[in-house]
Amino acid sequence: MDFSWSEEQTSMREQAYKFGKEVVAPRSAEMDEKEELDWEAWKQAAEFGFQGMVVPQKYGGLDLDPLTICITMEGLGHGSRDVGFVTSLGAHMVICEIPIVEAGTEAQKEKYLPKLVSGEWVGGYGQTEPGAGSDVAGMTAKAEKKGDCWILNGSKTFITNGPIGDVFVVLATIDKSLGHKGITAFIVESSFEGFKRGRKLEKMGMRASPTGELIFEDCVVPEENVLGEVGKGFKVGMSTLVWERATMLPALVGISEARLEEAVRYAKNRVQFGQPIAAFQEIQHKLANMKMHLELYKTIFYRVAWMKSQGMPATLEASVAKLFFGEVSRQDALDAFQIHGGYGYMKEYPIERDVRDCIANTLGGGTSEIQRSIIARELLKMYD
Ligand SMILES: Cc1cc2nc3c(=O)[nH]c(=O)nc-3n(C[C@H](O)[C@H](O)[C@H](O)COP(=O)(O)OP(=O)(O)OC[C@H]3O[C@@H](n4cnc5c(N)ncnc54)[C@H](O)[C@@H]3O)c2cc1C
């Protein structure tokens, strides 16, 4: 087993780290405060190629393999320490572009991918509804065929990039009684007749990533915008969520690394009882636990990404990674917060934002409970 990185992977991580540090990090706190995406960083990210990492070169992308994307996203998170920015980028690149790359027709790829890669268009993914979160098959957004168009009615909520997106991969049902077999994926442009943005939602954390509602009122979607086959949207959605776990979350692993580095520095500099608090075993053990977790996050996410690079589904492994990271990284953030004492509660230290951002690690892309259900389902298939 070879754990070394190629020259390309090492270079991409270093460049992504530098980009995060120099371009994203300086305005992270301000964007969190304003609850806005950093458009300047967005533009520069597109010039770097981030928005096109998953896209074939034919459509302007970098066509990187999943392991290289994982390592690059980790570098970006490490340098930027900005969950908001990497979440908006991830929603655009992973859960909007990947379904188009995987299930799109040639005409769809030619129409949408170049503009998404260049950053001119912002992408998003609309699955969750006010009444259907974990229970995806319970969605009620309806698609009805009328002539050579589909008419969408219903709404979506919690949609990353909802308030700013130009193109969304949207799941809707053609017949609710068919359950997941009725779900169909569509590519919906914000300029389509009947598309409306609902509320922009105020969040506890990840505030530099705009989140909102999408409303479809007799929204007219041309037939050629069905993504994949009619009735096969659930499969598109589930595959997309595995990709999310494999390639979006590594950015948050990079953020965990930045948090650990800062906690070590703080512990070495903060003096109490005549010595740095880093001298106290309680503090050392918190730092040691954080390091142990970081190494495990990396190992498991690299393996998931490697499996995706080999064309394996990695359904179980991606859920194990998401579950472990989601739950344990929250505790890491709280430990780092505790090391900062009262200063950690003040906005002048980035740990205050980290704690708010981290709380959602057990929610987005499937809750911890749902990850456990997926793992159990896969396990039950494995042993007679
Ligand atoms: C910041 C953020 C960004 C997001 N971005 C997007 C996006 O871009 N696109 C999108 O479509 N969605 C997005 N989501 C939505 C996200 O995927 C959902 O929040 C998530 O799937 C859970 O759905 P829910 O919030 O409706 O919770 P619910 O499904 O109502 O769950 C509530 C609680 O019940 C538990 N529960 C539910 N069912 C079961 C079960 N069968 N067994 C055990 N426990 C269960 C859940 O685990 C949870 O603890 C985002 C969410 C957040 C917070």
| Domain architecture of the chain: domains with CATH | 7-117 (1.10.540.10), 123-231 (2.40.110.10), 237-382 (1.20.140.10)
Distance from residue 33's CA to the centre of ligand 1 (Å): 25
- The tokens for 146 are 């009328």
| Of residues 109, 85, 111, 110, the one with CA closest to residue 98 | 109
Distance from residue 373's CA to the centre of ligand 1 (Å): 14
For residue 228, count CB atoms less than 10 angstroms from its CB and return exposed for 0-12, middle for 13-18, buried for 19 or more: buried
Q: d(Cα 151, Cα 379) in Å, to the nearest integer?
A: 40
What's 36's DSSP letter? -
Contacts of 346 (CB under 8 A, 6+ apart): 352
Q: Which residue has the higher pLDDT, 244 or 161?
A: 161
Active-site entry in 97, 244, 317, 352: 244
Q: Which atom of ligand 1 is nearest to the CA of 368?
A: 47
- The tokens for 74 are 């980790």
Grade residue 246 by pLDDT with cuts at 50, 70 and 90: confident
pLDDT above 70: percentage of residues in the chain:
100
- In the three-class reduction of DSSP (H, G, I as helix; E, B as strand; rest coil), residue 275 is classed as strand
244 given a catalytic annotation: yes
Instruction: State pLDDT tens for residues 289-339.
Output: 999 999 999 999 999 999 999 999 999 999 999 999 999 999 999 999 999
**Are the C-beta atoms of residues 216 and 174 closer than 8 Å to each other?**
no
Q: d(Cα 91, Cα 96) in Å, to the nearest integer?
A: 6
DSSP string computed for 14-35: HHHHHHIIIIIGGGHHHHHHHT
Would you give the end-to-end CA distance of the chain in angstroms? 30
Tell whether ligand 1 has an atom less than 6 A from the beta carbon of residue 159.
Answer: yes
Instruction: State pLDDT tens for residues 122-171.
Output: 999 999 999 999 999 999 999 999 999 999 999 999 999 999 999 999 99
pLDDT exceeds 90 at position 269: yes
Confidence (pLDDT) at 68:
96
Tell whether ligand 1 has an atom less than 6 A from the beta carbon of residue 141.
Answer: no
**Are the C-beta atoms of residues 113 and 100 closer than 8 Å to each other?**
yes
Confidence (pLDDT) at 75:
98
The mean of the pLDDT values for the chain is 97
Angle at 45 between CA 18 and CA 35, to 5 degrees: 100
Strand pairing of 211-222 and 271-272?
Answer: unpaired
**Are the C-beta atoms of residues 150 and 159 closer than 8 Å to each other?**
no
pLDDT exceeds 90 at position 384: no
Confidence (pLDDT) at 367:
97
**Are the C-beta atoms of residues 332 and 259 closer than 8 Å to each other?**
yes
- In the three-class reduction of DSSP (H, G, I as helix; E, B as strand; rest coil), residue 349 is classed as coil
Q: d(Cα 122, Cα 96) in Å, to the nearest integer?
A: 9
**Are the C-beta atoms of residues 174 and 47 closer than 8 Å to each other?**
no
Select from 97, 159, 367 the residue to mutate for testing ligand 1; criterion: most ligand atoms less than 8 Å from CB: 367
pLDDT exceeds 90 at position 199: yes
Contacts of 99 (CB under 8 A, 6+ apart): 125, 169, 185, 227, 228, 236, 237, 239, 240
DSSP string computed for 85-126: HHHHHHIIIIIIIHHHHHH--HHHHHHHHHHHHTTSS-EEEE
For residue 266, report the phi and psi dihedrals to the nearest 5 degrees: -60, -45
Select from 83, 128, 249 the residue to mutate for testing ligand 1; criterion: most ligand atoms less than 8 Å from CB: 128
How far is C-alpha 43 from the chain's CA centre?
19
pLDDT exceeds 90 at position 228: yes
| Of residues 85, 69, 66, 107, the one with CA closest to residue 23 | 85
Question: Scanning the structure block, which residue is given the tokens 């344990």?
Answer: 328
Q: d(Cα 74, Cα 83) in Å, to the nearest integer?
A: 11
**Are the C-beta atoms of residues 217 and 194 closer than 8 Å to each other?**
yes
Grade residue 365 by pLDDT with cuts at 50, 70 and 90: confident
| Amino acid at the residue 300 | I
- The tokens for 60 are 């302007």
Q: d(Cα 241, Cα 235) in Å, to the nearest integer?
A: 10
Confidence (pLDDT) at 245:
86
Q: Which atom of ligand 1 is nearest to the CA of 128?
A: 11
